[in-house]
Chains A and B, each alone.
Chain A
């Protein structure tokens, strides 16, 4: 052998960059209507139903805009939420409160904050900059029927609540099939699972997912009731005007 075996192999960082592209950046734009169930250890359920619109501005890993409209619960119906995501700095976030007809910027320093009280963080919803972690390939193994890379990602800065994450990334479509988050004591505390993958307009899409907090027993299940790509979302949707008057054509 003249060449080392790993010359043609993909690097762990490339795996995670491809995974980010497959999970958070597919298509020029994306729309999903979803039901999010927050389930306590005791079995009490709370339901959020929302539509998320996303549009890419630049290549995978680049800027994005998100628009979220809430159908349920009743006390947040018609509430809208908008994020301009920048990979290298804090996002801009706006919230519209219908009862006051008021649009407000909201402070957004902590990307690990819970998204609407769920077990998903803002980063889990809109992605984490691949450059914020160091990545190493732990092993390659089958998860169910899928061949996966198992990548360990360790945050470079100590500003997150976990010490490292293991990701099972499908070798074929690069979607994360499972993630394990380990806390600062090295103990497993959160597990993400992709429970259903469907092909939507040629894009493999995780249409059911769960994030479970192992330590508290609380979990959040998300299922997409509608999903679509490249629907031609206009730029002006991501504006104060449409926060106040949610565009029915795009959110139903």
Chain B
């Protein structure tokens, strides 16, 4: 595991954990769309991981 990637992986895990938490504590529309926002952050983090730390040169 590359050291620089750890905070990004931590953010990704946090995004997943926050999904049920927002549903439970916030609820309604805010939870519904916050899931979308969490998914966007997760997706950007995944691509950051790939392009910055795990890029495969061809």
A complexed with B:
no
Residue numbers of B with Cβ under 8 A of A are: none
Residue numbers of A with Cβ under 8 A of B are: none
